[in-house]
Amino acid sequence: MTQKKRTEIAELGEFGLIDHLTKDFTVTNKNTLRGVGDDAAVIKAGREDAVVVTTDSLLEGVDFDLTYFPLKHLGYKAVVVGVSDILAMNALPEQVMISIGVSSKLPVEALDDLYEGIKFACDELGVDMVGGDTTASMTGLVINITTIGRAKRKAITYRSGAQFNDLICITGNLGAAYMGLHLLEREKRVLKDVQNPEPQFSGYEYLLQRYLKPRARKDIIEALAEEKIVPTSMIDISDGLASEVLQICKASKCGARIYLDRIPIAKQTSALAEEMHTDPVVAALNGGNDYELMFTVPLAMQEKVMSMGLVDIIGHITRESTGAYLVTPDGGDIKLRAQGFKEE
Amino acid sequence: MTQKKRTEIAELGEFGLIDHLTKDFTVTNKNTLRGVGDDAAVIKAGREDAVVVTTDSLLEGVDFDLTYFPLKHLGYKAVVVGVSDILAMNALPEQVMISIGVSSKLPVEALDDLYEGIKFACDELGVDMVGGDTTASMTGLVINITTIGRAKRKAITYRSGAQFNDLICITGNLGAAYMGLHLLEREKRVLKDVQNPEPQFSGYEYLLQRYLKPRARKDIIEALAEEKIVPTSMIDISDGLASEVLQICKASKCGARIYLDRIPIAKQTSALAEEMHTDPVVAALNGGNDYELMFTVPLAMQEKVMSMGLVDIIGHITRESTGAYLVTPDGGDIKLRAQGFKEE
């Protein structure tokens, strides 16, 4: 008997796995403007418009822990996760579809909480809930979100458009959500056997909010439109800065230099990192869950983009041959690496 | 301490649950032509066209059993499940996005099989695979399929358009997939402790094929277009005939009479049902997994629709006040009931 070859998923990593699985697929439909490889697929919709579609899964035990993740927040976050991908195409979200796999052990009231959060996010972001389904799950809660948006075709921003010397801009600050998650995990561990646990979150409320109730940066897309800025490339920061910079470099066939001391990090992020003896920059680079936006603009737009008052310039695009690096304050270069296949 | 009310999901049933969870959502976006409540959502795309979008989840242990479901077939079926919903809108499928949640215990070669099946279905149905993601799963395999299609707006067929006296047509035959599933389950049970099991499927190959590799009835949508027939209502038969008839009745505010002896049932379905001492009509009514289409047309179209040579007329639409009934050969009336929340 011949032994069948067995390759572990970890050998390829998450992105290597996606590349491997999708390499034989080709696009043949004239209405498919962009397939695999960006934050969302792009589909022709009339003469000037395009519809953008993205799908995301959230799995209990991997993407969330119901011990400390309130269902209302989870519903809200599910919508934000999908909407963030749409915004990263420089498009505005319009519809969302939610599929849930749910154990019959969960009462209807728990699902009411989940859907209350979904509705809150839909109302806030101007999105219609247009479908989905419910299935029985033998195990944990499974949530899938399909999000649909729209943009003028000429405004759509891909990962692949970054040019030599472009400025790399990011919104908000990074690493806060990841530190919030660590805080929640610590308190869960510490209070495991306590009867009426009273977790200690004082002083770190912002971090919890960033993890449990991230906001989608629709304001950025609206501000860019108002300033008539169309970025050359864009991506949302869901897997950590390092991974996103590498995605832009891969798609745009370029390199990048990110300056460590320009990465915006909130005070609470630094404070908790110090308390936990970790580096807040590592949280920013690899933590993920930020749902901020990273985009590139031509050097000539520096003043215009800074006048928005909403972004930080953290580096610039280089030639592909020079690679993607983090530059430390003492001038050292650290090669950027993406995280592997997420597994808790 | 006040006791929070606890309602079991089973009290509402699957469709009751969806109605309950989505009742507070309203549609506010001008591009949303149809939201919750049909096989797919309908979104404006230019002056005359619409994009239709649907999402479906397949969960290991609930929707499939990897003991006997080959991954290649599972990939194929996942695409068919999504495409079937698009066809049920009288639209043609164009794109598909696949998200999988996968245990790291599964080798890459297993996922290669899954994606080979996905690619086979995409090629056969003329559909582009345009995205998705992979996540680690702590438990079983989770597959989510988002399917996108397109149609002229005036051709889109909803569940809500059935009129008094319309004919109820179905394609293919019903109950075969369900009997195929039963056969697989029986052999699994019987051969549980056998070292080199050799399951007995002889004579029932068609039933296995119907369960493991159902086909999407794209031919029907093309034939309807060729004959210039736009059905008044349509739905795909994924949950069993009884459930689908009730969905049409609910959406169209009508009743229905289905004639038991007109329900097409394949020979192998009847043969295995007899062997297993069950009723093949029950398999047709409640079994599901057929992925055939049910649609209604005005009485005047009887000849035209029969000339297609692809459908059976199994009953007609009545007033809402008269309800939905199955008429037995001896003239008896049996009230149609839908199945509850699926749980194995």
Average pLDDT rounded to a whole number, residues B135-150? 92
Mean pLDDT (whole number) for A252-275? 98
pLDDT in tens, A269-293: 999 999 999 999 999 999 999 999 9
- Residue B1 has a pLDDT of 47
**Beta carbons of B102 and A49 less than 8 Å apart:** no
Q: What is the pLDDT of residues A278-334, one digit of tens each?
A: 999 999 999 999 999 999 999 999 999 999 999 999 999 999 999 999 999 999 999
Amino acid letter for position B323 = G
* The pair of three-digit structure tokens given for residue B134, joined into one six-digit string: 């992979």
DSSP code string of A259-305: EGGGS---HHHHHHHHHTT--HHHHHHH-----EEEEEE-GGGHHHH
Q: What per-residue confidence (pLDDT) applies to A10? A: 85
Residue with the bigger pLDDT between B193 and B119: it is B119
Please list the residue range(s) of chain B that carry CATH number 3.30.1330.10.
9-155
* Confidence band, pLDDT 50/70/90 cuts, at residue B3: low
Within 8 A of A236 by CB-CB distance, chain B residues are: none
Q: Which CATH architecture has domain A9-155?
A: 2-Layer Sandwich (3.30)
Q: Would you state the structure tokens that stand for residue A148, as one six-digit string?
A: 């649909």
3-state secondary structure labels for all residues of B239-266? CCHHHHHHHHHHHHCCEEEEEHHHCCCC
Percent of chain A surpassing pLDDT 90 = 84
Q: How many alpha carbons fall within 13 Å on the CB side of residue B289?
A: 26
CATH T-level topology, domain B159-190+204-335:
Phosphoribosyl-aminoimidazole Synthetase; Chain A, domain 2 (3.90.650)
Model confidence band, residue B227 (pLDDT cutoffs 50, 70, 90):
very high
B193 has a pLDDT exceeding 90: no
Token duo for residue A90 = 């420089």
pLDDT of B343 = 32
Lowest mean per-residue pLDDT among A4-18, A313-327, B302-316: A4-18
A68-79 average pLDDT score: 97
Which of A24, A63, A94 shows the shortest C-beta gap to B31?
A94
pLDDT at residue A30 above 60? yes
d(CA A65, CA B268): 47
The per-residue pLDDT for A93 is 98
What is the predicted pLDDT for the residue at A162? 98
Nearest to B266 by CA among B308, B323, B316, B205: B205
Which pLDDT belongs to residue B339? 63
Which residue spans of chain A are classified as CATH 3.90.650.10?
159-335
CB proximity B150 to A under 8 Å: yes
Distance from C-alpha of B205 to C-alpha of B74, rounded to nearest angstrom: 17
Fold for the domain defined by A159-335: Phosphoribosyl-aminoimidazole Synthetase; Chain A, domain 2 (3.90.650)
Which of A126-140, A261-275, B258-272 comes out lowest in average pLDDT? A126-140
DSSP percent split of chain A into helix, strand, coil, nearest 5: 40, 25, 35
In this prediction, the answer to ipTM > 0.85 reads yes
* Element spanning B131, H or E: strand B128-131
Please tell me which of the candidates B20, B54, B131 has its beta carbon nearest to residue A36. B131
The ranges of chain B annotated as CATH 3.90.650.10 are: 159-190+204-335
Q: What is the band of A343 on the pLDDT scale with cuts at 50, 70, 90? A: very low
How many CB pairs below 8 A link A and B? Answer: 283
Is residue A344's pLDDT more than 80?
A: no
- Residue B105: which pLDDT band, with cuts at 50, 70 and 90? confident
pLDDT digits (tens, 9 = 90+) for A175-233: 999 999 999 999 999 998 888 888 889 999 999 999 999 999 999 999 999 999 999 99
Mapped onto helix, strand or coil, the DSSP state of residue A111 is helix
What is the rounded distance in angstroms from the CA atom of residue B167 to the CA atom of residue B295? 8
Inform me whether the C-beta atom of residue B227 falls under 8 Å from chain A C-beta atoms. no
